[in-house]
Structure 1
Amino acid sequence: MTGIPGSRPVGNQGYTSSTVVIIGAGISGLCMAIEILNRSQCRNILLLEKGSQVGGTWNDNKYPGCACDVWGALYSFSFEQKSDWAREYPGQEEIRDYVIHVAEKYGLYKYIRFNTAVQEARWDNDHRQWKVNVAVSGYKDSQFHESYQITTDFLVSAVGQLNIPSWPSIPGLDDFTGKLMHSARWDLTYDFIGKRVAIIGNGATSAQITSELAKSVSQLTVYQRTPNWVIPRHDASISPVQKFLLSYVPPIRWCKRAIQMQYREAIHEATVRKSDSWLARYMRKMAVDAMQTQLRDKPGLWAKLVPNYSSGCKRIILSDDYFAALNRDHVHLETRPIQRVTGYGIETADGDLREYDLIIVATGFRSVEFMYPIQVYGQNGRPLSEVWKDGASAYYGVTVEDLPNFGMLYGPNTNLGHNSIIVMIEAQSRYLSTLIAEVVRAKAHGNSLVLQPRPDVVATFNDRIQAELRESTFADPNCHSWYKLENGRITNNWPGLAVRYQREMSRVRWEDYLVEGTGKSRVQGKKATHIGRVQEELPVRTTTLVLSALGVAFAVSAYYLEF
């Protein structure tokens, strides 16, 4: 490979350095990369993905029945809307394929290093860079090197909140001699047909698995700790006519998305703010009516399935067939506490033992441990664990005290209980790309630029939203959820409307940041930069409605004339 006249030298000198490093190649990471490529001249970016494919949680979760609990029309990027979803609530494979499509269309694969897990990130005060230590997995890749270090000017975490499985502390769990698997690490090679199955947990994931496995297993027991609010999903396949209209008459697609966006925002009051409103009461009645209708053969379970807390305190489950599955003769709901797991089954607190072939752990993720298990050290070597000793917090969930040139996507207090997280991710990506663009611009001129949020600004922001959250349904003391810590502090959820978040993130106020480096004069004292937002909610412009009406008439006529 050497000594050929005129050959291009090979050295990969830039293999261990990058202007921007993004941790994760899920929806957040890809969105961040696209924003950087669109809004700056930077092309020296890396996405470090510990898995072997893009998709994040939609690549990790492959359990039967896995599907989105947000309408598909809202669950795609505003700049890359998918118009041909198979169902109103798309399944895991279809969402994963959409994410792959986005990565391919925007040429992102060349920036991604798969099978690369970040172990530690440490800010270098002297060189004003991050040093990122990674471990390499994969049979062949690890033969080149098992680990190495990457330096970068700006580090972005796109690992999200739902990536590390949470295993329960149940005595004897490791002693089980049958098949044991976590819902987020599903073994696709295992044949569960005709098996005796136990599911530990009864959240959204468990409800989806239960509905599917009930069709083919011989025995299924759901171990419930506390009940959840379950409301009908009203899922349906999307007809060829609708797909045609959504694909070829964009105003119709925009209107459908806007209407669904507005509806989701409208239920915020009932699910987050006012648990005693007429809408909240209606939603609870709808849930109870649906449960009693579908569980008509097991009225003894009704009282066990009605929560004593406000709807919205925990994640509301959307399902059309969970209660119908529980109504089957071979499906059982177990509410007695688990005492231990034996080599052959599960024993409850009263000594009752049931034997199983398969135990499924559907207990969610380590959601409040943001960045886990990555060790992060910021300004002057301060560990992130110290910054977050009282719970994770960040300025609008994106920048963190004492972490210079660092950003997060889907960070603390940015999860939603009522709308699509993609709405939040796009606002965050726009905001961070604006910070990154200034760092890139300074570097292009031979200067350095270091940005970190002022501690007083971060504290003021968090005091404000925590005050709001204490008045929200998330704070209901009658329920425990992955939204909050043991002490009741809510670290995961945003208290307001998604539109409000978009508006507040539509400009960068440079006075909110401590600025250092030889290029700081470009930013210090600079007026706020308006970056705008994507407005998708109603009211839709009159011209759009007119175009939609004309488009419908034309498209329907054309469709039926053709057939």
Structure 2
Amino acid sequence: MGGDMPWPQVPVGNKDHTEAAVVIIGAGISGLCTAIDLIKRNNCRNFIILEKSGGLGGTWRDNKYPGCCCDVWSHLYSFSFEQNPEWTREYPGQEEILQYLMGVAQKYELYRYVRFNTAVESAKWDDAEKKWKTKVSVQGAKDAEFGSTYTITSDFLVSAVGQLNVPKMPDIPGVDEFRGKMMHSARWDWSYDIRGKKVAIIGNGATAAQIIPEIAKEVGHLTIHQRTPNWVIPRLDSSIPPWKRNLYKYMPLIRHRKRADMMDYRESFHAAVFDNASATAQFMEKVSKDHMRAQLPDRPDLWEKLEPKYSIGCKRVIISDDYFPVFLRDNVRLETGKIDKITEKGIVTDGKEEEYDVIVLATGFRTVEFMHPIDITGSAGRTLSSIWKEGGQALYGVTVESLPNFGMLYGPNTNLGHNSIILMIEAQSKYINALIKEVIEARRKGRTLVIQPKVKRIQEFNDEIQSELERSSFADPNCNSWYKVKESGKITNNWSRTVVDYQKLLSSVDWSDYDLSGSSAEKLAGQKPTYIGRVVEESQVSYKTMGLAALSFAAVGIAAALRQKQAGRLRFG
């Protein structure tokens, strides 16, 4: 298949269907980024992307509920190396994001590497062979006729499954007894006509805040079951006119500057979500309160129910212009009572049953159970469930104890509350590819290399960031969130610092962080850190400096023109 190309430039073909240099689990943003870096940075095409669904896009393929969109600006929620001048809105919708990701995959010819409808059941490290054995099941009916299960052997394994992957069902008695239509927001059934129906939605987080304004206009009646209120700030979304899109397309420097301004602005909000005593946090709370009172004038009864009693940033801040006005509609009711149970006909709240045609579950994902439900076994037969019995943790959120030649993206403590996750993913992809480079280079030379993080270093890093997180708004005891383990309160999902801090941290590989073994280990032992670099996207030059530079250039130009004019007069005067 590869002609005269040397390994690992040869793509996996029929004869080596179950062997690869690298296996990537997931064809979402993280998986695509890792694959592109494999090609660009390592000239490696001997990899397989395993995707359990029938298409790529990850969370942006799964979540297609009414109103689904991103709460990060479109020009920032995209790869730095594939900036898109054609975004039609400042905040992109789900379908436009998915179209963008499909376009990126087509440009880099990634479809040839993806095995769709292929779910990973387990992955086990073989200490003797020094390879991963990944067992998959084929979900597609016709494809399963060729072989319903098989195992892939690889030198390196990458998890790109993310944190928002497996829908979480609410822990409510009788949830399986309802005989009407029930659907989770991440499994929206567009074949079902919701118009005129009596609907209940359980949950009022970021997803619900997008669904509610859309379906309220169509349903007969909507009851919103709120457990705790959320901080909501204005979205100020708008379309991007054609002339601006042309400007971004034909003057890329302007587009790059816009992205840098967006990153600067978002980074400045780190204090708001991290330190509730900061001026930024106090300002954001005031903005939210003013926003609510302006959209719900003279309704102190609603203000009391919709204003949070916890620090801003403890839970995900909602960005919306049309959430609050929903509560002024005659066909909408806010329910703040405790749900006792779900019955065949509806929901019992504080002892009173209400019947519904439809129940929408906007109850989020199993976020703290990273890589669930895949069964992972590392060196010496250690399972990931036993390694993470007290909650997920990883060195820099990327490499895991007892999992050799393994890397993960959007892993423990790498989620953000203030900026674009893609900025984190790109740094992780570069870092993981630096590890992969050494492993496949060793194999190319007929040697072996095993890389796994030192337990002591993982613990040091985790203790450091947990100490920071304990002082943050995320740790506010007055709220529960998907950022932390319910039982212990340990914050397993969020990063404690800024994006730039994280990018700098991952800009080089310090080999002293790792236990190295195999016949190529000596090459790296004692070696200085390998510098990877990072994408510098924050502003390097202020507008004031640019303005002064422009004035200086203009002054020089004017002076030169005057001198030329004066010289002309002297010659011909």
If the TM-score is normalised by the length of the shorter chain, which range does it land in? over 0.9
Q: TM-score, normalised by structure 1?
A: 0.94
Residue of structure 2 in register with 1:139 after alignment: 141
Instruction: Report the CA distance between 1:218 and its aligned residue.
Output: 1.1
Residue of structure 1 in register with 2:356 after alignment: 356
How many residue pairs match? The answer is 539
Residue of structure 1 in register with 2:517 after alignment: 516
Instruction: Report the CA distance between 1:360 and its aligned residue.
Output: 0.2
342 and 11 in structure 1: CA distance in 2 versus 1, 3 angstrom threshold: closer
Instruction: Report the CA distance between 1:549 and its aligned residue.
Output: 8.5
Residue of structure 1 in register with 2:172 after alignment: 170
Q: Does 1:491 align with 2:469?
A: no
The AA in structure 1 aligned to 2:538 is E
Q: Does 1:368 align with 2:368?
A: yes
Query: Which 5+ residue runs of structure 1 have no aligned equivalent?
Result: 1-9, 551-563
Structure 1 contact 251–545 (Cα < 8 Å) conserved:
no
Aligned residues: CA RMSD: 1.7
Residue of structure 2 in register with 1:33 after alignment: 35
Residues 501-526 of structure 1: CA deviation (Å, up to 9, x unaligned) = 00011000011111111111221111
Instruction: Report the CA distance between 1:356 and its aligned residue.
Output: 1.1
Residue of structure 2 in register with 1:110 after alignment: 112
11 and 31 in structure 1: CA distance in 2 versus 1, 3 angstrom threshold: closer
User: What is the DSSP-based 3-state SS (H/G/I as helix, E as strand, rest coil) of the residue aligned with 1:461?
Assistant: helix
Q: Distance in 2 between matches of 1:549 and 1:348?
A: 65
Residues 142-165 of structure 1: CA deviation (Å, up to 9, x unaligned) = 111111100100000000000100
Residue of structure 2 in register with 1:553 after alignment: none
Structure 1 contact 313–476 (Cα < 8 Å) conserved:
yes
Residue of structure 2 in register with 1:302 after alignment: 303
Residue of structure 1 in register with 2:194 after alignment: 192
528 and 92 in structure 1: CA distance in 2 versus 1, 3 angstrom threshold: same
Structure 1 contact 298–327 (Cα < 8 Å) conserved:
no
Q: Distance in 2 between matches of 1:255 and 1:544?
A: 14
Residues 60-83 of structure 1: CA deviation (Å, up to 9, x unaligned) = 001000000101110000000011
Residue of structure 2 in register with 1:230 after alignment: 232
The AA in structure 2 aligned to 1:348 is T
Q: Distance in 2 between matches of 1:541 and 1:247?
A: 23
Residue of structure 2 in register with 1:436 after alignment: 436
Q: Distance in 1 between matches of 2:411 and 2:421?
A: 11
Q: Distance in 1 between matches of 2:363 and 2:15?
A: 44
Q: Which residues in structure 2 correspond to 1:70-469 (within 5 Å)?
A: 70-272=72-274, 274-296=275-297, 298-349=299-350, 351-469=351-469
Q: Distance in 2 between matches of 1:77 and 1:124?
A: 35
Query: Which 5+ residue runs of structure 2 have no aligned equivalent?
Result: 1-11, 552-573
Instruction: Report the CA distance between 1:194 and its aligned residue.
Output: 1.1
Structure 1 contact 195–218 (Cα < 8 Å) conserved:
yes
- Give the number of the structure whose alpha-carbon radius of gyration is greater: 2
Q: Distance in 2 between matches of 1:544 and 1:176?
A: 63
Identity of matched residues, %: 59
User: What is the DSSP-based 3-state SS (H/G/I as helix, E as strand, rest coil) of the residue aligned with 2:82?
Assistant: coil
User: What is the DSSP-based 3-state SS (H/G/I as helix, E as strand, rest coil) of the residue aligned with 1:73?
Assistant: coil
105 and 543 in structure 1: CA distance in 2 versus 1, 3 angstrom threshold: farther
522 and 204 in structure 1: CA distance in 2 versus 1, 3 angstrom threshold: same
Residue of structure 1 in register with 2:565 after alignment: none
Name which of structure 1's ranges 111-120 and 340-349 shifts more when overlaid on structure 2: 340-349
Q: Distance in 2 between matches of 1:116 and 1:547?
A: 57
Structure 1 contact 340–348 (Cα < 8 Å) conserved:
yes
Residue of structure 1 in register with 2:554 after alignment: none
Runs of 4+ aligned structure 1 residues displaced above 6 Å come to 541-544, 546-550
Residue of structure 1 in register with 2:508 after alignment: 507
Q: Distance in 1 between matches of 2:325 and 2:511?
A: 54
The AA in structure 1 aligned to 2:33 is C
User: What is the DSSP-based 3-state SS (H/G/I as helix, E as strand, rest coil) of the residue aligned with 2:75?
Assistant: helix
Instruction: Report the CA distance between 1:297 and its aligned residue.
Output: 6.2
Residue of structure 1 in register with 2:22 after alignment: 20
Q: Distance in 1 between matches of 2:396 and 2:550?
A: 39
The AA in structure 2 aligned to 1:363 is T
Q: Distance in 1 between matches of 2:399 and 2:33?
A: 17
